[in-house]
Amino acid sequence: MPNKDAILSFEDLEIHFTLRGQILRAIRGVSLDVARGEALAIVGESGSGKSVFTKSAMGLLDANGSIAGGHIWYDGKDLAAYRTEKEWLTIRGKEIAMVMQDPMTSLNPLKTVGDQILEAVLLHQGLRGEAARQAVLEALAAVGIDDAPRRYRQYPHEFSGGMRQRVVIAIAVACRPKILICDEPTTALDVTIQAQILDLIKQLQKKLDLTTIYITHDLGVVANVADRIAVMYAGDIVEVGRCEEVFYDPKHPYTWALLSSLPQLGVKGQELYSIKGTPPNLFQEVKGDAFAPRNPRALNIDFVERPPFFEVSPTHKARTWLLDPRAPKVEPPELIRHLRQQGGSRHV
Amino acid sequence: MSDTRETLLEVRDLQVTFGSRRHPFPAVDGVSFDIYKGETFGLVGESGSGKTTIGRAIIRVNPVSGGTVRYQGEIISGKVSREVDRKVIQEIQMIFQDPMASLNERAKVDYIVSEGLTATAGHLSEGERKARVEQALSDVGLLPEFASRFPHEFSGGQRQRIGIARALIMQPKFIIADEPISALDVSIRAQVLNLMAKLQKERGLTYLFIAHDLSVVRFISDRIAVIHKGKLMELAESEQLFAHPLHPYTRSLLSAIPMPDPVWERNKQLLVYDPAQHHYSESNPPLWKELEPGHFVRGSEEELDIYRKML
């Protein structure tokens, strides 16, 4: 049964891709509740399945991919059972909208920016004529684009990267969605612009009462925006908790590794921490903890049996045998033990 | 202290102008700096600041419209002799940002890595060439048998290693790395940065490291120059720059670095740089001054006085 407080609820989700006759298990039985109004960040390396996972809730899987098991509950409906494009159109954009990574490729270069937002307004807000035009101008102003009437008539190439991403956000928000998925919204942008865009999404979330899901590979970026963080590895969520819990008290060795490899924590003259090895081949059955082969301090049982979720606090759980009462005590790496103080003393 | 260091590259009053004669657009405007042998010089700015253009002007891809670039004391900008041109081609190499876009997807790694050799060292036999390719691949931590594969068979991090191997095979002295890790995952970034640091130590390479993210540059650079709209704003040793950022633009860049600390992030004040705050005019022009040894900043007399007090 779906969780009552959750706006979107993934239950035991399995996603398979068929590639050259072989089956790739991209998502391996993931359950996750997204609470109404929260900002959730899903963090993982490329290939971890974080994009596939969220795309499945919008019916955007590639043709060779399919939901092989489990449910996606939204508003009492099971999206995992949706098959036709017609069914998906009642969800996509209208209920769940998405901001993609690269604003250069997600906008149509042949249409003016205003017309592209207008499309969303006509389709989802039911406005016509001058009223629709006004709504577009308001949408432009709402995402911080000055001189909206002139900008309305311009093409994407006349916008800078940051401005383009604002337009993409304006389009997504013009659909009046309940959930906004931001897939690496700032990866293609400069650091200064990145901070501004994250700020904008945060404001819109508050103003429009949105639920936001961020997808990113960079833990550094989400500290500012996320209420909760889910860490994904090899098609499975290995740790989930409130933002402070994941940063200040991470439990899974993979979360430790991700945090340690942030260049912000690098000490000059020393090697930066880097995760050895490569993610497992998901064409094959993953045995035990998927991260064990890359984890220098893996326990024997990590190679044999998949760990269950152990609860650290009511809001924080991790899939690692280290939390089993019988496990030896393993401390997180020194580098990430004092993130709280480090942030404050870094600069300024 | 700068007396003991050997200058490898000297950029003086560099100007690069794009656009037509009637609508010139100065992408780089009066930029001067030195790069010492064996160091990593970080060049930081946002997109459109001209940082890439400077790199490309040094390697003679973009023609300069004013100023000079000297490499080992020899002018390499503008019209140069054939020998100098050859020397630049061989000794200065580039690593590009996007390993997806910068490798020829129709060519095998073997060809990609050795293309530079066929252009400059035509006398190599097939066996020698193959051996050099294998050596270059193993230097960057790839297997020699990868030579017969195509770029699409590799992950982003591996592809960036191929890009580095392609630069290394020329046995360069100076490498311009243009945002070499921006397109990579955080966990892969560390690997590539470590590799670059290791190669530098082993071969005494000099790097010009171009990036938009100060946090990455701090780790790898000895000195950092901050550029905005084609003009240098500040130049200092990395730790000095982080400890005493003087120019408001540098401070805004520092304030934008995301930290892995939620409490800190929630309370952080984002500084936004507004160029209008300077009130430069004919009678109050901006100057480029060294305020403490090795720490340069751009500002008017009045501003420089304020900066001096901040030190």
Which of A66-75, A258-267, A293-302 bottoms out in mean pLDDT, i.e. has the lowest? Answer: A258-267
pLDDT for A262 equals 86
Instruction: Residue window 55-94, chain B: list those with CB within 8 Å of chain A.
Output: none
Contact A268 B238 (CB under 8 A): yes
Contact B193 A272 (CB under 8 A): yes
Residue-range definition of the domain harbouring residue A124: 6-226
Contact A191 B253 (CB under 8 A): yes
For residue B190, is pLDDT > 90? no
Whether residue B272 is found in the same domain as residue B154 = no
Whether residue A73 is found in the same domain as residue A186 = yes
Whether residue B271 is found in the same domain as residue B127 = no
- Condensed to tens digits (0 to 9), the pLDDT of residues B224-271 reads 999 999 999 999 999 999 999 999 999 999 888 888 888 888 888 888
Nearest chain A Cα distance for residue B282, angstroms: 30
User: Average pLDDT in the A254-258 region?
Assistant: 93
pLDDT band at A194 (very low <50, low <70, confident <90, very high): confident
Percent of residues in chain B assigned helix, strand, coil, to nearest 5? 40, 25, 35
pLDDT for A348 equals 39
3-state secondary structure of B260: coil
Contact B260 A257 (CB under 8 A): no
Q: In what order do the strands lie in the sheet with B24-36?
A: B24-36, B7-19, B66-71, B74-75
- Condensed to tens digits (0 to 9), the pLDDT of residues B145-185 reads 899 999 998 888 889 999 999 999 999 999 999 988 888 88
Contact B260 A247 (CB under 8 A): yes
Averaged pLDDT of chain B:
89
- Condensed to tens digits (0 to 9), the pLDDT of residues A161-182 reads 888 999 999 999 998 899 999 9
Contact B253 A259 (CB under 8 A): no
Nearest to A220 among B47, B193, B258 (CB): B258
CATH of the domain at A140: 3.40.50.300
pLDDT for A178 equals 94
Contact A223 B215 (CB under 8 A): no
Question: How many CA atoms within 13 Å lie on the side-chain side of B81?
Answer: 5
Which chain B residues touch A193 with a CB distance below 8 Å? 46
User: Average pLDDT in the B74-84 region?
Assistant: 90
User: Average pLDDT in the B51-79 region?
Assistant: 92
pLDDT for B248 equals 94
Which chain B residues touch A194 with a CB distance below 8 Å? 256, 258
User: Average pLDDT in the B200-219 region?
Assistant: 90
For residue B235, being part of any structural domain is answered with no
Instruction: Residue window 203-222, chain B: list those with CB within 8 Å of chain A.
Output: 212-216, 218-219
Closest among B11, B86, B296, B190 to A274, alpha carbons compared: B190
Tell me which of B229, B260, B287 is where a domain ends.
B229
Tokens of B301: 């007399």
Which chain B residues touch A265 with a CB distance below 8 Å? 260
Of all residues in chain B, the one with the smallest CA distance to A228 is: B262
Task: Give ipTM to 2 decimals.
Answer: 0.82
For residue A110, being part of any structural domain is answered with yes
For residue A19, is pLDDT > 70? yes
Whether residue B23 is found in the same domain as residue B84 = yes
Whether residue B64 is found in the same domain as residue B190 = yes
Hey, what amino acid is at B166? R
pLDDT for A340 equals 74
Pair B64, B78: CB distance under 8 Å: yes
Whether residue A205 is found in the same domain as residue A88 = yes
Whether residue B205 is found in the same domain as residue B99 = yes
Q: Which residues contact A206 (CB under 8 A, 6 or more apart)?
A: none
pLDDT for A320 equals 93
Q: Which of B199, B218, B259 to mutate against chain A (most A CBs within 10 Å)? A: B259
Whether residue A100 is found in the same domain as residue A170 = yes
Of all residues in chain A, the one with the smallest CA distance to B266 is: A224
For residue A240, being part of any structural domain is answered with yes
- Report d(CA B203, CA A207) in Å as an integer: 55
Contact A191 B214 (CB under 8 A): yes
User: Average pLDDT in the A276-286 region?
Assistant: 84
For residue A343, is pLDDT > 80? no
Whether residue B216 is found in the same domain as residue B250 = no
pLDDT for B3 equals 55
Residue-range definition of the domain harbouring residue B31: 2-229
Of all residues in chain A, the one with the smallest CA distance to B251 is: A348
Whether residue A155 is found in the same domain as residue A260 = no
CA distances from A223 to A254, B3, B263 (A): 17, 44, 8
For residue B1, is pLDDT > 50? no
User: Average pLDDT in the A217-229 region?
Assistant: 90
Whether residue A149 is found in the same domain as residue A291 = no
Which of A37-46, A113-122, B182-191 bottoms out in mean pLDDT, i.e. has the lowest? Answer: B182-191
For residue B196, being part of any structural domain is answered with yes
Whether residue A37 is found in the same domain as residue A185 = yes
- Condensed to tens digits (0 to 9), the pLDDT of residues A127-162 reads 889 999 999 999 999 998 988 999 999 999 998 888
Contact A261 B189 (CB under 8 A): yes
DSSP string for residues in A140-171: HHHTT-SSHHHHHT--GGGS-HHHHHHHHHHH
Whether residue A222 is found in the same domain as residue A235 = no
The pTM (predicted TM-score) of the whole model is 0.87
Instruction: Residue window 11-50, chain B: list those with CB within 8 Å of chain A.
Output: 46-48
Where is B191: in which H helix or E strand?
helix B186-203
Tell me which of A191, A226, A261 is where a domain ends.
A226
User: Average pLDDT in the A115-125 region?
Assistant: 91
- Report d(CA A152, CA A115) in Å as an integer: 8
Nearest chain B Cα distance for residue A15, angstroms: 22
**What count of residues does chain B have?**
311
Give how many domains chain B has, as a whole number: 2
Nearest chain A Cα distance for residue B217, angstroms: 9
- Condensed to tens digits (0 to 9), the pLDDT of residues B212-237 reads 888 888 888 999 999 999 999 999 99
For residue A341, is pLDDT > 80? no
For residue A1, being part of any structural domain is answered with no
Averaged pLDDT of chain A:
89
Nearest to A192 among B46, B186, B238 (CB): B46
Pair A99, A183: CB distance under 8 Å: yes
Whether residue B250 is found in the same domain as residue B307 = yes
Tokens of A198: 């994250």
The percent of residues in chain B predicted with pLDDT above 90, rounded, is 54
Whether residue B139 is found in the same domain as residue B263 = no
Contact B270 A190 (CB under 8 A): no
Whether residue B252 is found in the same domain as residue B301 = yes
CA distances from B246 to A139, A200, A274, B93 (A): 38, 28, 33, 33
pLDDT band at B70 (very low <50, low <70, confident <90, very high): very high
Whether residue B156 is found in the same domain as residue B278 = no
pLDDT for B121 equals 66
pLDDT for A133 equals 93
Whether residue B29 is found in the same domain as residue B152 = yes
CA distances from B137 to A134, A234, A245, B132 (A): 58, 28, 42, 9
Pair A334, A265: CB distance under 8 Å: no
Give how many domains chain A has, as a whole number: 2
**Cα torsion at B276, B277, B282, B287 (round to 10°)?**
-120
Tell me which of A172, A191, A226 is where a domain ends.
A226
- Condensed to tens digits (0 to 9), the pLDDT of residues B2-51 reads 457 899 999 999 999 998 888 888 899 999 999 999 999 999 998 888 99
Nearest chain B Cα distance for residue A199, angstroms: 10
Whether residue A67 is found in the same domain as residue A186 = yes
Tell me which of B199, B229, B259 is where a domain ends.
B229
Whether residue B15 is found in the same domain as residue B112 = yes
For residue B104, being part of any structural domain is answered with yes
pLDDT for A344 equals 46
For residue A329, being part of any structural domain is answered with yes
User: Average pLDDT in the A308-324 region?
Assistant: 93
Contact B264 A247 (CB under 8 A): no
Whether residue A121 is found in the same domain as residue A244 = no
pLDDT for A47 equals 83
| Residue with the two structure tokens 């009130």 | B279
For residue A45, being part of any structural domain is answered with yes
Tokens of A348: 């300024």
CATH of the domain at B89: 3.40.50.300
Whether residue A267 is found in the same domain as residue A221 = no
pLDDT for A345 equals 47
For residue A22, is pLDDT > 80? yes
Q: Which of B44, B186, B210, B213 to mutate against chain A (most A CBs within 10 Å)? A: B186
CA distances from B267 to A203, B40, B243, B251 (A): 16, 33, 20, 17
User: Average pLDDT in the B257-286 region?
Assistant: 86
Tell me which of A204, A226, A248 is where a domain ends.
A226
Q: In what order do the strands lie in the sheet with A6-19?
A: A22-35, A6-19, A65-74, A77-78
The strand pairing partners of B208, in sequence order, are: B41, B176
Whether residue A180 is found in the same domain as residue A116 = yes
Whether residue A34 is found in the same domain as residue A168 = yes
Tell me which of B229, B255, B282 is where a domain ends.
B229
For residue A3, is pLDDT > 70? no
For residue B237, being part of any structural domain is answered with no
Nearest to B186 among A224, A261, A347 (CB): A261
